Structure 1
Amino acid sequence: MELLSPAGNLETAIAAFDGGADAVYCGLGKFNARERAENFSKETLGKLLNFAKENGRKVYITLNTLIWESELSELFEQLLILDKMNPDALIVQDPGVCEIVRKYFPQMTLHASTQMGIHNSAGVAVAEKLGFKRVILERQISLDELRQIAKNSTLELEVFLHGSLCCSLSGRCLLSHHLYGESGNRGKCKQPCRRAFEQGKMKNMRILSPADLAGSSLLSELDKLNIASLKIEGRLRTPDYIWKTARAYRILLDNPDDPEAAVEAENIFRTVPGRKKSTGFYFKSSWKSLIDPSAGGSFGECCAKVNKVIRSGMLVKVATSLHLGDRLRVMPAAGGEGESFSLAAMENHNRTGIIRARSGETVFIKGNFRAAPGYEIRRIGENGFDFSRRAAALPDFRQEFALKITAFPTLWQAEIPGSNAVWQESTDFAPAEKRPLTEEQIKKVFSENPPAGFRPGKIEVCINGNFFVPAATLKSLRRNYREFFTPVLGSMDFFPEHPVKMEKFYAENQIFPDLPPEILPQNIFTIPDFIPENELDNIRKEIKNAYANGVRNFSAGHWHAFELLKNLPQVKIFTRYPFHISNSFAVKLAGVLGASCVAATPECDENNRILLQKKSPLPFFEDKRAVPLLVSRIPLAKGKWELDGKKFKITETEKLSVLHSHDPFEVPR
């Protein structure tokens, strides 16, 4: 099983690989679900990709947010850049991104983001038909359900193993957007689920804040299911967190039956900051205990509290310890985002600089902080895990090229596909008595010291004959080939198809059908948005009976709906939230799947919706439902609640907890 770690920047990526991760997932500055992370520039991503390929590791790029119609050109330009860099896969949420990649970049590998919310084999089947190689499953499925999905699916499956849990089903949380105008589906979640709610006299109730997932006890079971990848959550985490979690799981994966290894891993886990640990959603019996409303919902260890704030800093009383280099966050005791900083200096009561402070001491921390007396200081990272120098020392991106080498005793020849140039050199090698030349020898030597700015990818070798080549001579041949191809590579256009793709895309993106809207029919069968694996057959029967009784209109709010309707002729499918339609290419993909009419995602603003409807190849319909802000399989505390002066109500519908606003969040019309 692949061990997949998060990487919020180049330093944490190196920490992950150093700890033992097989792969990392990361994002550029835009269009990824963790825009609050530092993320990667084109330059730092290039460095990471070089490092990974040269060390047998993988890098997956997150493009897992919803894309507005007005952003499609910017998205396409980002895809052109990624195409040149050749990452191992793209992780996507938006149906429109999927359609653009399928149409213009079919050579790129696609992974279905957990934000797509796929939670049953019918959804996996749709992903497979669309060309996805892997599905990252919804977090909120049990181990028994996972067994059945794995049994009924052929695609690679990826599951979450460790880290923070979302209260909501993936892709179905509108709470951050409702409260702050910052959408989790757009990578800007403000984490209101970690805040303290109120209900009458009950204060500081963290009713939406689940415990963290710690899945070390599940490794043997997951291995039996042939799960492709085990995912650690945490692109906002520090290098020490990333290294420690990767290291602990690497130890367990490499030594599955070793008690001493288990103890070593557990000792590492004890030093990893986090909330209360759990097995997440893997066991239904523990779902009720996933949330303790009276427990703190903040990440990390509370190591100090603010006594006083002055213009130049704050006086804090240490609860456990503080050490220079610690990564800290100062935040309200009631919860919230807080402000993160690295502890660069602190002073004791004599205003003398100190390196370490112990429990009970009062120290001064200099700086301009948004804090007040009673605020908590939480340790979210430790010193001693500095990978910045190694990250800074990585070479710049080198363009990959293919190489074909043909070797005869009397002639050597090298070609680079896409170039008309051919390097040849006459030779005179004698038949081998003991050690004939091998393909591996040629590949190894010709991989070393490539022309500046380039590196060989696939090397194809054809040896004609059985002859011996001294090591020094082989290196001399490499030097001559390198000298010949250096100017050739510098003048090559590795992506001559890109201008053609751009022209075709921009032409397609300027089509404005401007179709009139349709009205949602009265006689329509609504396919449930959440269908556990063991309920698929029952829903199939209900759909079959409805069809037999003359129903031809079906409402589809999730990927699995298209699989359940695939064999029914002459049906009309109306897509609606939570099947997200935020751009015209998403509409095109819906059409590929069989949709006849669509509705915009709830977070789509007025300007984008107007543009989207004009460019949509399918008509829109008015969906006037009041949509929930959050849906969860956790049995949440029912009733009326308040947060930041706004009122909410939690109810239960079809075994799901549903959070509604007192002021309905309506689907835009």
Structure 2
Amino acid sequence: MKNTKNPELLAPAGDLASALTAFDCGADAVYAGLSCFNARERADNLSIDEMSKLLEYSRRNRKKVYITFNTLIKEAELEEAAGMIADLYRLRPDALIVQDLGILRLIRDYFPRIEIHASTQMGIHNSAGVKFAALSGVKRVILERQLTLEEIKAIAISSDLELEVFVHGALCCSLSGQCLFSSWIGGWSGNRGKCKQPCRRRFYASDRDAFYLSSGDLCSLEMIPEFRKIGIASLKIEGRLRKSDYVKNVVSAYRMALDAAPGEENAVFRKAGDILMNIPGRKFIMPLKNSSSFSGFIRHTESGAQGKLCGTAVSPDRNGFYALLSGRLHLGDRVRVQNADCEDEAVSILVTKMNLDGLPAKKALKGQECYIFSDKRVTKNSSIFRVGESWDAMKSRTDALPLSRTALDIFIAVNTDGFKISVTNPGTEKSWHKKINIENAMKHSLSQEALANEFKASRSETFESGKIETEISGSLFLPSSELKRIRREFWEWVDINIKPEEMKGSHSSMLRNFLDNYKKSGPLQTASPILTVHGTVNAPGTEKPIRSDYLHEINDKTDEIILPHFCPEAKLRELAGLIKNSYSRGIRKYRITSLYGICLLADYHDIKISSSFPLPVCNSLAAEELKSRGFDKTQAWIELEKDALERLISKSSLPLEIYRGGTPFILCTRAETAIEGSVRDAAGNRFTIKKDKFTGLCFIYPEEAFFIPAVNGASAEFYSSDDISVNEKLTSPFNFNRIFA
């Protein structure tokens, strides 16, 4: 039975000030990242000391902090990533949000007390995917953004795992974790937190041009009652690239709506909606209630630029530019100036000085012409978008926040003779005894839960409670006032008798355990690579390749089935039936392209399973996780460069396949596009937009075919060609010869 209480309100925190603002305005939790290994590396993000301060503040105020560790991790980065996780383990965050299967395995097996949330970048979009997450030790799934309310309801009914959904903010045009667009054109991967948002550009077709891939912003205010009814655990606001002014307004609006009294919902929702409408941003799309909602997902007639249009640059010079305003502007506002000659070029400016009629001014209004001082180049007739307002950086407040206290793990034993409390942190073998006569209970006996909850409270400036274990011998009665007194005496004893520097962190031993095991791991001995092909591909070699087909392509020549990378909840049963039919036809080889497929194939014990694009495997821990799930082979992630591929091969315990050539998609969406066929961007890059008649998904393909050289040590090679025309004279090695950033 799902809990129908108010869901958690989860806010973005691109910096410490935004986190405090979110808590001040009613957020129950925030999500934030460090300087690397998070999907918003362009945000300010937090230092390890700032994260320590935030976690200490949140615990003292009964809030929560989830740390984003949601990028793909290359083999060469595993040891650094493990070291960072060990540091975070010491700080005791409420959860880590992860995308990479290898990082999931690392946390679960070596740092088991860290709660794991599956990032939306994992692409979990149906109940079979949620089931996989539950079996893998995940406590919460952040669902794919492109799901309808109907689909979310169906998933919630089928699972007891906590579910989190995005309710507000910018949307990716692509299905989560499956966009290679930014990576393809320049090596800036969205799966590594470096997306350049090429989908927001203007694209040119033969007879028209538009923003064919730019989605509107999400606003799900009206769906709060439905989310509450189906038991969604957390409502997530997007926006770690935004500042405190945005966080303040959005969190305040959603807090207001969540707390609306019965009978007053309509009036409160209107008031909250007015707040949201005045925030600089793109126009809102309708909430995704059902499949027809995807027709309005992309706003192809509107600029992909974020913010409210507030003027035009009419006369730039070397010190700044004159701006004719169509909306008000204040000192401290942040503006984005879109180049009039090239919409792909823009500069961001913080308005720190401006003149009105030649005199310094704090604000300028609609219809006025002001001069904005800036050292950045602005072209005449460029559009000016206000993307943020002045905000309080809270420097004095953030500077004064204390660092996280040292966590003390304790074991509390209680019997009729009193208390014995042992400190259980590694290297700290000290105990405190309190002799007291405790009577047997007549009615209200002391519970283990009440005992643990009481000792969680610590007034110590140095220590706070960590893991608390309890043992009560018999049915005992102890007045609450006496229990509080004993708890205070214990923590006073701790401050006098235990020093933080004496304690050996368990995180250090966990890290050493991982590093020792990692150094022992090594590669497989391989023979000549096995060749697999899909589609019409002229693959090299003289031996007959394995023929791989999708379920709708199955024929007498099919050796292997490729499962679809996206299967809506309503189609799961049908897909399971098609798999059963293929098995009855003698098929014993299957390719899994999304995590949900693992559960669909779980009951077939005499089959061979491979992973395949777009299921990412970037490191040997991810390969090891798939091996433990019965995989016989795994395909290296297509974005990896040569060095990363070679390092992965050198450590993988599972036979490794290299995707060597074909026509992989670089973006996939459920949204309806206004055009199909060939388009180009302002830089002359050409792409094909095509809707697939079998899945209903829309795919974006580059003009060039993909091809890379053979990689030494690979166990298998894969070639695939979708039914798409490409310029056969053009090939691209993708990131093979450059760094996958």
Same fold at TM > 0.5? yes
Note if 1:369 corresponds to 2:376. Answer: yes
State the shift of 1:659 in Å: 0.7
Which segment drifts farther, 255-264 or 561-570? Answer: 255-264
| Contact residue 609 and residue 631 of structure 2 kept, 8 A | yes
Q: Which consecutive residues of structure 1, in runs of 5 or more, have no partner in the other structure?
A: 431-435
d(CA) in 1 for partners of 2:406, 2:344: 44
Once the two structures are superposed, what CA deviation does each residue of 1:485-519 show, in whole Å capped at 9, x if it has no partner? 343x431113162354244244245x233534322
Q: Which residue of 2 aligns with 1:526?
A: 562
Check if 1:645 corresponds to 2:684: yes
SS of the residue aligned with 1:37? coil
Q: Secondary structure at the match of 2:258?
A: helix
Give the match for residue 242 of structure 2.
237
- CA 1:480–1:661: 2 relative to 1, 3 Å: closer
Instruction: Give, as a single letter, the amino acid of the residue that structure 2 aligns with 1:395.
Output: P
Letter in 1 for 2:116: L
Letter in structure 2 aligned against 1:383: S
SS in 2 for 1:596: coil
Q: Does the 8 Å contact 1:625/1:666 carry over to 2?
A: yes
Please name the residue that 2:575 is paired with.
Answer: 539
Q: How far has the Cα of 1:441 moved from its partner? A: 11
Cα deviation, residue 289, structure 1: 1.9
Offset of residue 390 of structure 1: 2.7
1:400 to 400, 404, 407: 407
Deviations 1:240-272 (CA, angstroms, capped at 9, x unpaired): 111211111111111153144223312321222
Q: How far has the Cα of 1:386 moved from its partner? A: 4.6
Give the distance between the partners of 1:476 and 1:106, measured in 2 at CA: 30
SS in 1 for 2:242: coil
- Equivalent residue letter for 1:339: V
Deviation of 1:450 (Å): 0.7
SS at match of 2:632: strand
Contact 1:515–1:616 (CA under 8 A) maintained in structure 2: no
Matched to 1:498, the amino acid is: M
1:348 aligned partner: 356
- Which of 487, 490, 495 is the aligned partner of 2:501? 490
CA contact (8 A) 1:529 1:578 kept: yes
Question: Is contact 1:159–1:231 with CA below 8 Å preserved after alignment?
Answer: yes
Farther off after superposition, 274-283 or 124-133: 274-283
| SS at structure 2 position matched to 1:372 | coil
Could you say if the C-alpha distance between residues 583 and 468 of structure 1 is closer, same or farther in structure 2, counting changes exceeding 3 Å? closer
Q: How many residue pairs were aligned?
A: 662
TM-score of the aligned structures, taking structure 2 as reference length: 0.83
SS of equivalent to 1:558:
coil
Q: 1:62 to 1:514 in 2, by over 3 A?
A: farther
Contact 1:527 1:554 in 2 (8 A): yes
Where do residues 58-69 of structure 1 align in structure 2 (5 Å cutoff)?
58-69=64-75
* Cα shift at 1:30: 0.8
User: What is the CA-CA distance between 1:315 and the residue it aligns to?
Assistant: 2.3
Decide whether aligned partners of structure 1 residues 154 and 547 sit closer, same or farther in structure 2, where only a CA change above 3 A counts: same
Letter paired with 1:49 = L
2:227 to 210, 222, 227: 222
Aligned to 1:433: none
* Superposed displacement of residue 569, structure 1: 2.0
Tell me the distance in 2 between the aligned counterparts of 1:469 and 1:219.
Answer: 42
Sort the Cα spacing of 1:505 and 1:271 in 2 relative to 1 into closer, same or farther, 3 A: farther
Kept in 2, the 8 Å contact 1:297–1:335? The answer is no
Deviation at 1:134, TM superposition (A): 1.3
Cα offset for 1:663? 0.9
Distance 1:550 1:55 in 2: 60
The letter of the residue matching 2:662 is R
Q: 8 Å contact 2:125–2:143 — kept in the other structure?
A: yes
* Structure 2 counterparts to residues 438-477 of structure 1, below 5 A: 447-452=457-462, 454-457=463-466, 477=489
Specify the alignment match of 1:192 in structure 2.
198
What corresponds to 1:318 in structure 2? 325
Alignment of 1:14-163 (within 5 A): 14-163=20-169
Q: Alignment partner of 1:227: what SS?
A: coil
Match of 2:14 in 1: 8
TM superposition shift of 1:471: 12
The CA distance in 1 between the partners of 2:103 and 2:451, in whole Å, is: 42
Residue 578 of structure 1 corresponds to: 614
The amino acid that maps onto 1:494 is G
1-structure distance, mates of 2:188, 2:525: 29
1:659 pairs with 700, 712, 716, which one?
A: 700
Once residues 141 and 483 of structure 1 are traced to their aligned partners in structure 2, the CA distance between those partners, rounded to angstroms, is: 52
* Cα offset, 1:647, TM superposition: 0.6
Worse-matched range after superposition: 476-485 or 637-646: 476-485
Amino acid aligned to 1:113: S
CA distance in 2, matches of 1:52, 1:201: 55
Q: 1:530 to 1:556 in 2, by over 3 A?
A: same
Task: Report if the CA contact (8 A) 2:327-2:366 is conserved.
Answer: yes
CA distance in 1, matches of 2:355, 2:107: 55
* Deviation string, structure 1 residues 529-566 (Cα, Å, up to 9, x no partner): 11111111111111111111111111211112111111
1:301/1:464 Cα in 2 relative to 1: closer, same or farther (>3 Å)? Answer: same
TM-score for both structures, normalised by structure 1: 0.92
Q: Secondary structure at the match of 1:172?
A: coil
* C-alpha distance in structure 1 between counterparts of 2:708 and 2:178, whole Å: 13
CA RMSD of aligned residues (A): 3.0
What SS does structure 2 have at the residue aligned with 1:244?
Answer: helix
Query: In the superposition, relative to structure 1, how do residues 459 and 483 fare at CA in structure 2: closer, same or farther (>3 Å)?
Result: same
Task: Please give the residue correspondences for 1:226-375 in structure 2 after superposition, counting only pairs within 5 Å.
Answer: 226-255=231-260, 257=262, 258=264, 259-332=266-339, 335-336=343-344, 338-350=346-358, 352-375=359-382
By how many angstroms is 1:470 displaced? 9.1
SS in 1 for 2:570: helix
C-alpha separation between the residues in 2 aligned to 1:472 and 1:97? 41
Matching of residue 420 in structure 1 with residue 420 in structure 2: no
